[in-house]
Amino acid sequence: MIHPHTGAVLVVGSEILLGRTQDTNTLHLIRRLLERGIRLERWFIVPDDPDAISEGLRTLLDKEYDLVLISGGMGPTHDDITVESVARALGRGAEISEATQLRLLEKWMTRNPREQIPEGTAKGLRKMSQVVDGFRTLENPAGAVEGQMGLVGRTLVAIFPGVPREYKALLDHPLFLQMLPGHTNVVSEEVIYSGRESQIATFLEEMQGRDPDVDIGSYPQGPLKVIIRVTGDPPRVLEVADEIRRRVGPRT
């Protein structure tokens, strides 16, 4: 292990599995987590199906990650079932938060002054106000539906909307950052080797065995170019990368 903190994501969205939408949120999340010393170890994508969501969450909770972040499926429509599915997986209920409902209503009235809220819209706002029992809400500064989070054992479980702008805004929410584990930055350093990967395989294996607190990976980019990437805590990463550079000179 290069650091003690680990995370996983459960992305809900049939449109992603159909290739109609790209999950750019998780790519952004990975960079943010590394800044806190948290390494993403699982990235699950499941359809808008309650059984798939519940099963996926239970699988991730069994691994006892420090963080499980669930995204998508929090809107007002019939296929937005993430909150109920998470509650079911945890053996909990999901109740309407009056405070959340009031905030959503105020936002709607601000955008639609002097209009009477349609019945269908009001129903949708109530649906988006559901909160898993025992979770606390995170007010959304970039949209309507609020994030929510709570501890399940030692794991922080958070649910975010899938809209990228809102997702990114909630990653900066003070309450989320306060609860998020980790504090040490994780960095990567690259070394370019001009040669074949097979020529350095034994050497890299020896280096990894000697330094288990960093990750050393090799990634061929062509017949005679290999990127060697060292990942871990800043001081040791720089030391290991410098040693690799000294011992692995350019070769063709």
- The full set of domain ranges for the chain reads 5-179, 187-247
> What pLDDT was estimated at residue 2?
44
Pairwise CA distance, residues 189 & 120, whole Å: 53
Q: What is the reported pTM?
A: 0.79
83, burial (CB in 10 Å: exposed 0-12, middle 13-18, buried 19+): buried
CATH of the domain spanning 187-247? 3.30.70.2860
How large is the C-alpha radius of gyration of the chain? 22
pLDDT (0 to 100) of residue 182: 72
DSSP state of 76: S
Using 50 as the pLDDT threshold, list the residues of the chain that sit under it.
1-2, 251-252
Question: Are 164 and 175 spatial neighbours (Cβ–Cβ below 8 Å)?
Answer: no
SS3 99: helix
pLDDT attached to residue 35: 84
CATH topology of domain 5-179: Molybdenum Cofactor Biosythetic Enzyme; Chain A (3.40.980)
Structure tokens at 146: 């609020």
> What is the structure's pLDDT at 252?
41
Residue 121 near residue 104, CB atoms below 8 Å: no
